Protein backbone atom coordinates (compact mmCIF):
# COMPACT_ATOMS: atom_id res chain seq x y z
CA UNK A 1 0.00 0.00 0.00
CA UNK A 2 1.44 3.42 -0.89
CA UNK A 3 2.08 5.81 1.99
CA UNK A 4 -0.53 8.37 2.96
CA UNK A 5 -0.23 11.60 0.99
CA UNK A 6 -2.09 14.69 2.22
CA UNK A 7 -4.36 16.42 -0.25
CA UNK A 8 -3.29 19.51 -2.14
CA UNK A 9 -5.69 21.52 0.03
CA UNK A 10 -3.56 20.96 3.13
CA UNK A 11 -3.19 24.10 5.20
CA UNK A 12 -0.23 26.41 4.81
CA UNK A 13 0.92 25.47 8.31
CA UNK A 14 1.93 21.96 7.23
CA UNK A 15 5.58 21.15 6.99
CA UNK A 16 7.75 18.18 6.17
CA UNK A 17 9.17 16.63 9.28
CA UNK A 18 12.49 14.81 9.14
CA UNK A 19 13.10 12.85 12.33
CA UNK A 20 16.60 11.64 13.16
CA UNK A 21 15.50 8.08 12.39
CA UNK A 22 12.57 7.02 10.28
CA UNK A 23 10.72 3.76 9.96
CA UNK A 24 9.02 4.46 6.67
CA UNK A 25 8.72 7.02 3.94
CA UNK A 26 8.81 10.69 4.82
CA UNK A 27 5.28 11.90 5.56
CA UNK A 28 3.94 15.43 5.57
CA UNK A 29 2.68 16.20 9.09
CA UNK A 30 0.42 18.98 10.30
CA UNK A 31 0.73 20.66 13.66
CA UNK A 32 -0.93 18.74 16.48
CA UNK A 33 -2.77 21.87 17.60
CA UNK A 34 -5.00 21.57 14.54
CA UNK A 35 -6.64 18.47 16.08
CA UNK A 36 -7.76 20.04 19.37
CA UNK A 37 -10.50 22.52 20.16
CA UNK A 38 -9.03 25.91 21.10
CA UNK A 39 -9.53 26.83 24.76
CA UNK A 40 -9.49 30.25 26.32
CA UNK A 41 -7.59 29.07 29.39
CA UNK A 42 -5.52 25.88 29.66
CA UNK A 43 -7.48 23.22 31.52
CA UNK A 44 -10.91 24.78 31.04
CA UNK A 45 -13.71 22.57 29.87
CA UNK A 46 -14.71 23.03 26.21
CA UNK A 47 -18.33 23.84 25.50
CA UNK A 48 -20.68 21.13 24.28
CA UNK A 49 -21.09 22.98 21.01
CA UNK A 50 -17.36 22.86 20.37
CA UNK A 51 -16.96 19.16 21.13
CA UNK A 52 -19.80 16.67 20.98
CA UNK A 53 -21.44 17.53 17.75
CA UNK A 54 -18.67 19.40 16.02
CA UNK A 55 -18.29 17.48 12.76
CA UNK A 56 -14.91 19.08 11.96
CA UNK A 57 -13.39 17.89 15.26
CA UNK A 58 -14.66 14.35 14.73
CA UNK A 59 -13.41 14.33 11.13
CA UNK A 60 -9.96 15.54 12.25
CA UNK A 61 -9.83 12.76 14.87
CA UNK A 62 -10.80 10.11 12.32
CA UNK A 63 -8.19 11.41 9.86
CA UNK A 64 -5.47 11.32 12.53
CA UNK A 65 -6.34 7.67 13.23
CA UNK A 66 -6.31 6.91 9.48
CA UNK A 67 -2.89 8.49 9.00
CA UNK A 68 -1.45 6.33 11.77
CA UNK A 69 -3.27 3.22 10.53
CA UNK A 70 -2.13 3.58 6.90
CA UNK A 71 1.44 4.63 7.72
CA UNK A 72 1.91 1.57 9.96
CA UNK A 73 0.16 -0.70 7.43
CA UNK A 74 -2.14 -2.16 10.08
CA UNK A 75 -4.55 -4.77 8.70
CA UNK A 76 -8.10 -3.40 8.51
CA UNK A 77 -9.47 -6.40 10.41
CA UNK A 78 -7.66 -5.08 13.50
CA UNK A 79 -10.54 -2.59 13.82
CA UNK A 80 -12.73 -5.58 14.77
CA UNK A 81 -10.60 -6.22 17.85
CA UNK A 82 -12.62 -6.24 21.08
CA UNK A 83 -9.96 -3.88 22.50
CA UNK A 84 -10.14 -1.25 19.73
CA UNK A 85 -13.08 0.86 20.98
CA UNK A 86 -11.94 0.45 24.59
CA UNK A 87 -8.57 1.95 23.64
CA UNK A 88 -10.25 4.91 21.93
CA UNK A 89 -12.54 5.46 24.94
CA UNK A 90 -9.62 5.31 27.40
CA UNK A 91 -7.55 7.83 25.43
CA UNK A 92 -10.58 10.12 25.11
CA UNK A 93 -11.05 10.11 28.89
CA UNK A 94 -7.38 11.07 29.32
CA UNK A 95 -8.02 14.18 27.23
CA UNK A 96 -5.68 16.50 25.35
CA UNK A 97 -2.03 16.25 26.32
CA UNK A 98 -2.12 12.49 26.92
CA UNK A 99 1.31 11.12 26.06
CA UNK A 100 1.19 7.81 24.22
CA UNK A 101 3.59 5.12 25.43
CA UNK A 102 6.95 4.98 23.70
CA UNK A 103 8.26 1.91 21.89
CA UNK A 104 10.49 1.23 24.90
CA UNK A 105 7.53 1.33 27.30
CA UNK A 106 5.44 -0.87 24.97
CA UNK A 107 8.16 -3.50 24.66
CA UNK A 108 9.32 -3.32 28.27
CA UNK A 109 7.41 -2.45 31.44
CA UNK A 110 3.94 -2.28 29.86
CA UNK A 111 4.44 -5.65 28.16
CA UNK A 112 5.50 -7.22 31.46
CA UNK A 113 2.48 -5.68 33.19
CA UNK A 114 0.14 -7.12 30.54
CA UNK A 115 1.76 -10.57 30.90
CA UNK A 116 1.04 -10.46 34.64
CA UNK A 117 -2.57 -9.41 33.97
CA UNK A 118 -2.98 -12.35 31.57
CA UNK A 119 -1.56 -14.75 34.15
CA UNK A 120 -4.22 -13.59 36.63
CA UNK A 121 -6.95 -14.08 33.98
CA UNK A 122 -5.58 -17.52 33.11
CA UNK A 123 -5.62 -18.56 36.77
CA UNK A 124 -9.36 -17.74 36.93
CA UNK A 125 -9.94 -19.96 33.89
CA UNK A 126 -7.87 -22.79 35.37
CA UNK A 127 -10.02 -22.77 38.50
CA UNK A 128 -13.18 -23.09 36.38
CA UNK A 129 -11.56 -26.00 34.46
CA UNK A 130 -11.14 -27.97 37.68
CA UNK A 131 -14.82 -27.43 38.52
CA UNK A 132 -16.47 -27.75 35.09
CA UNK A 133 -13.92 -29.85 33.22
CA UNK A 134 -12.05 -29.10 30.03
CA UNK A 135 -10.72 -30.69 26.87
CA UNK A 136 -7.14 -30.14 25.70
CA UNK A 137 -6.73 -30.10 21.93
CA UNK A 138 -3.70 -29.79 19.71
CA UNK A 139 -3.14 -28.80 16.13
CA UNK A 140 0.15 -28.75 14.28
CA UNK A 141 1.72 -28.05 10.93
CA UNK A 142 5.11 -27.81 9.30
CA UNK A 143 6.27 -24.82 7.28
CA UNK A 144 8.32 -24.91 4.06
CA UNK A 145 11.57 -25.06 6.06
CA UNK A 146 10.38 -28.15 7.97
CA UNK A 147 9.81 -26.25 11.22
CA UNK A 148 6.92 -27.56 13.29
CA UNK A 149 4.36 -25.33 14.94
CA UNK A 150 2.05 -26.82 17.56
CA UNK A 151 -1.04 -25.06 18.86
CA UNK A 152 -2.51 -26.19 22.16
CA UNK A 153 -6.09 -25.17 22.88
CA UNK A 154 -8.37 -25.68 25.87
CA UNK A 155 -12.11 -25.95 25.47
CA UNK A 156 -14.39 -25.58 28.47
CA UNK A 157 -18.00 -24.78 29.31
CA UNK A 158 -16.71 -22.29 31.87
CA UNK A 159 -16.50 -18.51 31.50
Q: What's the CA dihedral at 68, 113, 111, 78 to 10 degrees?
A: -40
- Residues 49, 86: one domain? yes
10 is a domain residue: no
In a shared domain, residues 89 and 37:
yes
159 residues of the chain, pLDDT tens digit each:
455 444 444 444 433 444 444 444 444 444 554 555 554 455 556 665 555 567 888 899 999 999 999 999 999 999 999 999 999 999 989 988 999 999 999 999 999 999 999 999 889 888 888 888 999 999 999 999 999 999 999 998 866
Among the listed residues 126, 125, 152, the one whose alpha carbon sits nearest the alpha carbon of residue 137:
152
Q: Are residues 25 and 95 in the same domain?
A: yes
Prediction pTM value: 0.52
Domain boundary among 79, 100, 121: 100
Judgement on whether residues 123 and 50 belong to the same structural domain of the protein: no
Going by C-alpha positions, the residue among 19, 51, 47 that lies closest to residue 35 is: 51
Position 2 in a domain: no
For 31, the domain range is: 15-100
Q: How many domains does the chain have?
A: 2
- Residues ≥6 apart with Cβ < 8 Å to 37: 46, 50, 51, 54, 57
Amino acid sequence: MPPFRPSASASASTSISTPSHTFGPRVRKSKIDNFFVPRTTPGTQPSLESMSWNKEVHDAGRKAICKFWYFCNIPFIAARSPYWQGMIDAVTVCGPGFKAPSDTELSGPLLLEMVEDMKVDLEDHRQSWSQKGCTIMTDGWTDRRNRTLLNFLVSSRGD
